[in-house]
Chain A
Amino acid sequence: MTNSGSDHDDQLSSLYRQTEPDGPGEMTDARILAEARHAVKRPERTSAARKYNWIMPAGIAATVAIAAIISVIMLEPAKTPLQPGVENDSVHIGTTQPSPPRRQLDRISLLIKENRIDEARSALADFRKLYPDYRINAKKYPTVVELEAQSQ
């Protein structure tokens, strides 16, 4: 043998190549080749697809959440007038709680009724700060409308 101490030896390599060439069994060959063919026929879930595979469930979750929020809004009694300046009686449907402006107007009416005029004026002034364009229903709150007219 040649090249003592080397990391290559021609004679040894040549002798090794003369050894019986082994190979895997036919079953192993068939299994591997079948899998290789089958794999490229399958639709591949690419890394990009895996990266964004949260979109579908997230979309469904968002849709459900939005639907739930809309349902709650639709079913919950309105607490503010639907149109500023116009009282809407429908806000009382299904509830005994008046909407905030009406509650304040009720309170002002009560103050006037109790002859606490100064307090009524003050409450009316506060009311106007909050709802400057609100048109008070004269039929429902005639005393308040009258007090406001006197104050101007």
Chain B
Amino acid sequence: MQESATDEELMEAYRDGDANAFEILYQRYRKPLFRYFQHQCGSAAIAEELFQDIWMNLIRARQRYHVSAKFRTYIYRLAHNRLIDHYRKQKHGIPASYDENENTLATPAAANTITPERTVSGMRQVDALLDAIDNLPEAQREAFLLKENGDLSVEQIAELTDVKPETAKSRVRYAINKLKQTLEPHHD
């Protein structure tokens, strides 16, 4: 199996017994998927656990794989489902930000924001961005991470997270606006 093969071709080849195809696919998604979990959960240990689970699930379910959707959407759906499962097992359950009725474009609480003073006090811009991502509400953060790590469209994000396209769009917009607001230089 060639490096130039599509994700779908690689997954089908693996389904049919080609372990090398899996390795190529794994290398393609290894970092973005891990970063999705790490930034979403805020813990490398939990990210490792969830990351490993979805690959093991993929391996176990390989015989049921059919090219009905893009592999990219398929694997991120597995990731999203595993994440929601993880939230369910937590004390507080699924975060309130996942409620579709929540007004996602409302201004977040001040306690959740990075103050411009912190941004201009020597913090590198990329560190400030990571800090700002950590402070986004979970659903909006996930939408942003799916877009940036998964390179997914708003429609694909809506599909794999089982929300309306408007909701997915609102979450992405909220995240972008909030991150931009945090990173903009402070002007008095």
Which residues of A are interface residues toward B (Cβ below 8 A)?
1, 4-9, 12-13, 15-25, 28-29, 31-33, 35-37, 39-40, 44, 46-47
Contacts of B126 in A (CB 8 A): 15, 18-20
* Alpha-carbon separation in the docked complex, A39 to B59 (Å): 7
Q: 22 A-B Cβ contacts within 8 A?
A: A5-B173, A7-B169, A12-B176, A13-B148, A15-B183, A18-B126, A19-B130, A22-B31, A22-B38, A24-B30, A28-B48, A28-B51, A28-B52, A32-B52, A36-B22, A36-B59, A39-B62, A40-B19, A44-B63, A46-B63, A47-B63, A47-B64
Quote the shortest CB–CB distance from A11 to chain B (angstroms): 8
Which residues of B are interface residues toward A (Cβ below 8 A)?
14, 17-19, 22-23, 26, 30-31, 34-35, 38, 44, 47-48, 51-52, 55-56, 59-60, 62-64, 125-126, 129-130, 147-148, 154, 169, 172-173, 176-177, 179-180, 183-184
Say whether, besides A24-B51, A32-B56, A40 and B14 are in contact (CB < 8 Å): yes
Q: When the two chains form their complex, are residues B129 and A15 in contact, meaning their CB atoms are under 8 A apart? A: yes
Q: When the two chains form their complex, are residues B148 and A16 in contact, meaning their CB atoms are under 8 A apart? A: yes
Q: When the two chains form their complex, are residues B14 and A1 in contact, meaning their CB atoms are under 8 A apart? A: no
Contacts of B169 in A (CB 8 A): 7
Partner of A35, one of B30, B59, B184: B59
Q: When the two chains form their complex, are residues B180 and A36 in contact, meaning their CB atoms are under 8 A apart? A: no
Say whether, besides A12-B179, A23-B31, A33 and B17 are in contact (CB < 8 Å): no
Q: When the two chains form their complex, are residues B177 and A15 in contact, meaning their CB atoms are under 8 A apart? A: no
Partner of A36, one of B23, B34, B130: B23
CB-based closest 6 A-B pairs:
A36-B22, A7-B172, A37-B19, A1-B180, A32-B55, A40-B17
Contacts of B130 in A (CB 8 A): 19
Q: In the complex, given contacts A12-B176, A35-B56, what are 14 additional A-B residue pairs having Cβ atoms less than 8 angstroms apart?
A: A4-B180, A5-B177, A7-B176, A12-B129, A13-B148, A15-B183, A17-B148, A22-B31, A24-B34, A24-B48, A32-B59, A36-B59, A37-B19, A39-B62
Q: Which residue of A lies closest to B184 (CB)?
A: A1
Contacts of A28 in B (CB 8 A): 48, 51-52
* Alpha-carbon separation in the docked complex, A50 to B35 (Å): 37
Partner of A23, one of B19, B34, B125, B154: B34
Partner of B60, one of A18, A23, A39: A39
Contacts of A19 in B (CB 8 A): 126, 129-130
Contacts of B59 in A (CB 8 A): 32, 35-36, 39
Quote the shortest CB–CB distance from A91 to chain B (angstroms): 61
* Alpha-carbon separation in the docked complex, A19 to B130 (Å): 8
Quote the shortest CB–CB distance from A32 to chain B (angstroms): 5
* Alpha-carbon separation in the docked complex, A15 to B184 (Å): 13
Q: When the two chains form their complex, are residues A40 and B52 in contact, meaning their CB atoms are under 8 A apart? A: no
Q: When the two chains form their complex, are residues A32 and B26 in contact, meaning their CB atoms are under 8 A apart? A: yes
Q: Which residue of B lies closest to A39 (CB)?
A: B59
Quote the shortest CB–CB distance from B167 to chain A (angstroms): 12
Say whether, besides A12-B176, A40-B14, A22 and B34 are in contact (CB < 8 Å): yes
Contacts of B52 in A (CB 8 A): 24, 28, 31-32
Q: Which residue of B lies closest to A46 (CB)?
A: B63
Q: Which residue of A lies closest to B45 (CB)?
A: A25
